[in-house]
Amino acid sequence: MTAVRGVSPRLLGAYRRTTYRAGDASVRIGRRSPVMDALLARQHARCAVFVTAWNPFSRRMPEGWNRRMQQRLVERLRRRTVLPASGAAGRWHEDHVLVLAALPWTMRLARVYRQNAVVTVRPGGRARLHLTGRTATGG
């Protein structure tokens, strides 16, 4: 596997191994989730996006810093429907939010918080990874 727009194969693999959770629903990239479909139906959502402010450009930051940045992200989303969420793989964990909003708007926000990617879910669809085009090298 080769790097995609500045994101290493190792990091792409990490995204694919991560389980993204909101409430009782969990998804993995490339897979469908009937529980997520039900959650989206209850919220009358056509699209939802997992986004975080933790660890910009996938560089580990102190937990206190991550929590402060995540709180700023949540404050910025105060007019949107947002559910607490997380992403975890093995011992690694990040807080996320599941934003019920269109992908283009959420991608712009992810770029502001220097994120490499977001994950989208749609009713009946597979979870998809979307690269923001931002990398530590200036993408």
pTM, two decimal places? 0.91
84-121 pLDDT per residue, tens: 999 999 999 999 999 999 899 999 999 999 999 999 99
As a whole number, mean pLDDT of residues 53-73 equals: 95
Phi, psi of 69 (to 5 degrees): -65, -40
Tell me the mean pLDDT in the region 20-29: 97
Which token pair is 77? 């989303």
Rounded Cα distance between 24 and 21, Å, is 7
